[in-house]
Chains A and B, each alone.
Chain A
Amino acid sequence: MPVSVLLILGMGAAVGFISGLFGIGGGFLMTPLLIFLGIPPAVAVATQSAQIVASSTTSVLGALRRNALDHKLGAILVAGGFVGSALGVWFFAAARRAGQLDLVIVISYVTLFTIVGSLMLKESIREFWHRRKGGAVRLRRRAGEHAPYLGWPLRMRFYRSKLYVSVIPILGLSLFIGFAGALLGIGGGFIVVPALLYIFRVPTTVVVGTSQFQIVCTTLVALILHAITNQAVDMVLAILLIVGGVFGAQFGARMGRHLRAELFRFLLALLLLAVGLRFGLELVLKPEEPFSISVQEVRQ
């Protein structure tokens, strides 16, 4: 694939910067960018998972040092994530055989990004409004306020997270994230973190570390499975993305400390909606070349 090395490094750095700024993995931005650049979606998704592994390894190691990680919750998340990842890679291969992988990826991006983007936008605007009126918005833990499915059977106690909930919704969430991550080349931090915070009420001190722990494990599995079943991992591209991303993220994180939280979420929401919209256009606009070739097999 003749793509400029400097361009990939630059993109890796730019996306790394943004991901550091927002404290997210950056996969959801990088994979679309690679696809828009003309890299086949299969290669973009599979290769980007390597970059996610690298960036979340950094965060997990940091979290371990600060002891900001709930091991038990993390283990449950990882268990669900593994199953989701395997299903995602299997589905990816099946869609590719049927010739509809590009469509599946594009539609999933449009749906996921439009939904998550608009929810975030709504939330940030509401928060902004409250703040202008003077009242500080704070998450409070009140008895009887939990959603009913948290009280389902198989309840488990998570001491670090101060939780006593059913593992079923947790497994369901991690299964979904693993599946989406393997299929779309995203870590899923931008879904897991809000879900753990708002639905399960996991304390902010452990939420990022725990979700990054889940991401590093499931993406690692996805990466290896992608290499075996789809052979779509490009090691050279992966290294370029990682090197660019690692440095970009550090500068982004430094900048991020001066940014206000609700402005943060507002900008992130706009970014998600923009990427979703861009994919939507791809789906609706008449393609310049309606035909495409795919190589099934090389006969020697």
Chain B
Amino acid sequence: MRVLGLLLLLWAGLTPAQAETLITSLSNHRVLINSNYTGTQIAVFGAIERDAQTVARATGYDVVVTVRGPRQFLTVREKERLGPVWINQDQQKFPSVPAYISVMTSRPITEITSDQLRQRQKIGLEAIISANDFTYGRDGADKPFREALHRLKAQEGLYLEDERGVTFLTSDIFRAGIPLPATAPPGNYDVDVTLFADTVILARTNTHFELVKTGFEEQIGVVARDWSLLYGLATAAIAIFFGWLASVIFRRD
């Protein structure tokens, strides 16, 4: 009996009383993107449920939605001057980084929570990119490469942060629109929703969706990757056909 009581106490200590529960849902778990399309959007809906004992919080809630795309092995290179010419010299490898990251928040992220918590929990694009597991540390030499990756990915619309991306419809129901550009690669996307109040994390949920590319160009891309010999032969055949056609059409003798 005493052992059971101790276990119960331990159980209670390990799982703090959850005052708020977060319920989230995606508008879609399978997103289809046409290759020559301009991109699409997926919506995240969420509701915050309070149990009977909890009183309404004076500060209100904040939500951060973080979406991470499939992982890629990237190399970032820097052109440096060597004599009269500019050539790639220093490089930094990023063995496993998301091809796509978007962070949608209900307020500017610096107002939501403290610096330390953001670094530790990787909340916000800055924190994700400067995290230790993002790439190898090289005593500060890695910093310009992290910044360059951020900048270049942001230009493509693949790394983005929107401090007005989450809107509260009522005080405890919210919605976020996640923009997916046409360049977003196919694969599994992780959606991480974190609920904050007064700079503290209250609850967290995690869901996924799959991005599937459709359309003619995408199918060609698949053939080029998986059936490269066939693809090469087909391109060669097309080229020879057009060459022959031209010699027939424009025959001069």
Which A residues from 213 to 234 make CB contacts under 8 A with B?
216, 220, 223-228, 231, 233
Bound complex: CA of A100 vs CA of B77, how far in Å? 10
Residues of B within 8 A of A249 (CB): 246
Contacts known (A65-B253, A99-B88); A238 close to B76, Cβ less than 8 A: no
Residue A50 interfacial (CB < 8 Å): yes
Contact of B235 with A291 in the complex, beta carbons under 8 Å: no
Bound complex: CA of A220 vs CA of B232, how far in Å? 9
Partner of B243 from the list A56, A99, A103, A226 (CB cut-off 8 Å) is A56
Interface residue count on the B side (C-beta < 8 Å) = 55
User: B76-106 vs A: 1/0 string, CB under 8 Å?
Assistant: 1111110011111001010010010000000
Residues of A within 8 A of B93 (CB): 296
Identify which of A220, A223, A227, A284 gathers the most chain B CB atoms within 10 Å of its CB: A227
Bound complex: CA of A99 vs CA of B91, how far in Å? 9
Contacts known (A283-B86, A298-B72, A298-B99); A290 close to B79, Cβ less than 8 A: yes
Contact of A62 with B247 in the complex, beta carbons under 8 Å: yes
Contact of B235 with A223 in the complex, beta carbons under 8 Å: yes
Partner of A223 from the list B71, B224, B232 (CB cut-off 8 Å) is B232
Contact of B247 with A51 in the complex, beta carbons under 8 Å: no
Give the size category of A's interface with B: 35 or more
Partner of A224 from the list B151, B232, B250 (CB cut-off 8 Å) is B232
B134 CB to nearest chain A CB (Å): 14
Contacts known (A50-B238, A235-B238, A300-B187); A293 close to B243, Cβ less than 8 A: no
Residue A242 interfacial (CB < 8 Å): yes
Bound complex: CA of A223 vs CA of B153, how far in Å? 31
Contacts known (A53-B240, A231-B225); A295 close to B74, Cβ less than 8 A: yes
User: A62-100 vs B: 1/0 string, CB under 8 Å?
Assistant: 100110000000000000000000000000000000011
Partner of A296 from the list B75, B144, B238 (CB cut-off 8 Å) is B75
Bound complex: CA of A225 vs CA of B224, how far in Å? 12
Contact of A233 with B231 in the complex, beta carbons under 8 Å: yes
The total of interchain contacts (Cβ-Cβ below 8 angstroms) comes to 164
B20 CB to nearest chain A CB (Å): 35
Contact of B87 with A61 in the complex, beta carbons under 8 Å: no
Bound complex: CA of A252 vs CA of B232, how far in Å? 29
Identify which of A55, A225, A291 gathers the most chain B CB atoms within 10 Å of its CB: A291
Contacts known (A54-B246, A57-B243, A286-B86); A291 close to B152, Cβ less than 8 A: yes
Bound complex: CA of A231 vs CA of B245, how far in Å? 27
Residue B19 interfacial (CB < 8 Å): no
Contact of B228 with A236 in the complex, beta carbons under 8 Å: no
Contact of A290 with B75 in the complex, beta carbons under 8 Å: no
Contact of B73 with A297 in the complex, beta carbons under 8 Å: yes
B75 CB to nearest chain A CB (Å): 5
Contact of B73 with A300 in the complex, beta carbons under 8 Å: no
Contact of B75 with A227 in the complex, beta carbons under 8 Å: no
Contacts known (A54-B239, A283-B85, A284-B86); A298 close to B70, Cβ less than 8 A: yes
B179 CB to nearest chain A CB (Å): 17
Residue B141 interfacial (CB < 8 Å): no
Bound complex: CA of A239 vs CA of B206, how far in Å? 45
Contact of B74 with A250 in the complex, beta carbons under 8 Å: no
Residue A287 interfacial (CB < 8 Å): yes
Contacts known (A54-B242, A224-B233); A293 close to B247, Cβ less than 8 A: no
Contact of B77 with A292 in the complex, beta carbons under 8 Å: yes
Bound complex: CA of A243 vs CA of B86, how far in Å? 36
Residue B31 interfacial (CB < 8 Å): no
Partner of A53 from the list B152, B188, B243 (CB cut-off 8 Å) is B243
Contact of A293 with B75 in the complex, beta carbons under 8 Å: yes
Nearest opposing residue in chain A for B153, CB measure: A293
Contact of B87 with A103 in the complex, beta carbons under 8 Å: yes
User: B168-186 vs A: 1/0 string, CB under 8 Å?
Assistant: 0000000000000000010
Contacts known (A54-B239, A65-B253); A291 close to B228, Cβ less than 8 A: no
Residues of A within 8 A of B232 (CB): 223-228, 233
Residues of A within 8 A of B188 (CB): 300
Please name the 7 residue pairs, one residue from A and one from B, whose CB atoms are nearest each other, closest first: A57-B243, A227-B232, A291-B148, A224-B232, A53-B239, A61-B247, A297-B73
Selected A-B contacts with CB under 8 Å, 29 pairs: A53-B236, A57-B247, A65-B253, A99-B88, A99-B91, A102-B88, A103-B87, A103-B88, A220-B236, A223-B239, A224-B232, A233-B224, A235-B235, A236-B220, A239-B238, A239-B242, A242-B239, A249-B246, A287-B79, A290-B78, A290-B86, A291-B78, A291-B144, A291-B151, A292-B77, A294-B74, A295-B72, A298-B71, A299-B96
Residues of A in contact with B (beta carbons under 8 Å apart)? 50-51, 53-58, 61-62, 65-66, 99-100, 102-103, 216, 220, 223-228, 231, 233, 235-236, 238-239, 242-243, 246, 249-250, 283-287, 289-300
